[in-house]
Amino acid sequence: MNNVSKVAVNAFSGLGAGDGIFMWGNQLTVIEEEVWQPLLLDDVQLFLGGNPLFCGCDIAWIVLNPTFLNLIASDTTCATGELLVDLDPTFYEENC
């Protein structure tokens, strides 16, 4: 745990399919699309468990994309304790 609360765009480079970024147990509250989408497009796995993630409309881009959702570790939870993999895509389609 490093208490990371923000990650800059292009903070990670040279990663590809099968690689992983381990950010477990930090202070991330958002999964910013401009930071993480390029990595997910390259099939990089994200390990984000133990972060107080806000799971509002800002993560619809993940919840509505099964490929992206599969690249996020299944133990990743929202600050409320709900697993990302258990979030209802229909809610995000209708409300975001």
**Is 76 among the domain residues?**
yes
H-helix or E-strand spanning residue 57: none
Q: What confidence tens digit (pLDDT) does each residue in 18-41 have?
A: 999 999 999 999 999 999 999 999
pLDDT tens for residues 53-68? 999 999 999 999 999 9
Is 62 part of any domain?
yes
16 lies in a domain?
no
- 30: containing domain: 26-95
For the whole model, what pTM was predicted? Answer: 0.92
